[in-house]
């Protein structure tokens, strides 16, 4: 079956979302490429730590999902369902859901050397910030360390003593 509901004259190339089997996104992408589909599987660089050893690896930005591009109105989508590594296609009823190319283009624009680059934090060491909510609401602190996963270590005065506190970045606002 082709992506239906659209006449050939009105048809524009689009992307569909393909659901891959768990941890088999790269296998699924490879097999779909062999079948002639244009595939986009955005990845991010992830650092994992085990037994004091840090390793960097590429992991999918959307675990379990890939994007497949449809370039002609008569392209068939059912063969994808029997591809090794594929679980299903995201559908609206019986037809694959069409995804605007602008979304994929925006993801590709954030890539550097084939890897999605995360937005850099606006915070820097030495910056004075203020707690925006919680029990320390309104108290000023100085950033002393930038941690992973949107966490910061701040130095604040608590009971007339300098105290280091690890907080989430969204709990702070600029002074």
pLDDT band at 40 (very low <50, low <70, confident <90, very high): very high
Instruction: With respect to residue 7, please indicate whether it lies within any of the assigned structural domains.
Output: no
Q: Are 30 and 68 contained in the same domain?
A: yes
Backbone φ and ψ for 4, nearest 5 degrees, come out as: -90, -175
> Mean pLDDT over residues 110-123, rounded?
82
107 lies in which domain range? 14-116
Instruction: With respect to residue 138, please indicate whether it lies within any of the assigned structural domains.
Output: yes
CATH number at residue 147: 2.30.30.30
Our count of domains for the chain comes to 2
Q: Are 134 and 100 contained in the same domain?
A: no
pLDDT, tens digit, for every residue of 44-95? 888 777 787 878 889 999 999 999 998 888 888 889 999 999 999 999 998 8
Q: Are 39 and 107 contained in the same domain?
A: yes
Q: Are 93 and 47 contained in the same domain?
A: yes
Is residue 32 within 8 Å of 18, Cβ to Cβ?
Answer: yes
Q: What is the pTM of this model?
A: 0.66
Identify the DSSP state of 76.
Answer: B
C-alpha–C-alpha distance, residues 25 and 156, integer Å: 45
C-alpha–C-alpha distance, residues 37 and 135, integer Å: 54
Q: Are 100 and 51 contained in the same domain?
A: yes
pLDDT, tens digit, for every residue of 129-165? 999 888 888 999 999 988 766 788 999 998 889 999 9
Q: From the CA atom positions of the chain, what is the Rg in Å? A: 23
């Amino acid at each position: 079956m082709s992506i239906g509901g659209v006449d050939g004259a009105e048809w524009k190339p689009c992307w569909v979302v393909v659901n891959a089997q768990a941890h088999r996104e790269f296998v699924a992408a490879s097999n779909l490429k062999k079948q002639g589909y244009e595939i986009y599987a955005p990845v991010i660089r992830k650092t994992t730590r085990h037994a004091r050893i840090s390793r960097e690896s590429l992991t999918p930005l959307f675990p379990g999902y890939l994007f497949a591009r449809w370039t002609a109105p008569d392209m068939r989508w059912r063969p994808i369902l029997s591809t090794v590594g594929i679980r299903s296609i995201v559908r609206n009823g019986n037809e694959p859901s069409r995804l605007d190319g602008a979304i994929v283009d925006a993801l590709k624009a954030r890539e550097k050397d084939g890897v999605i680059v995360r937005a850099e934090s606006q915070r820097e060491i030495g910056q004075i910030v203020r707690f925006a909510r919680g029990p320390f609401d309104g108290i000023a602190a100085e950033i002393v360390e930038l941690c992973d996963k949107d966490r910061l270590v701040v130095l604040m005065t608590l009971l007339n003593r300098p105290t280091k506190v690890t907080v989430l970045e969204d709990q702070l606002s600029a002074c």
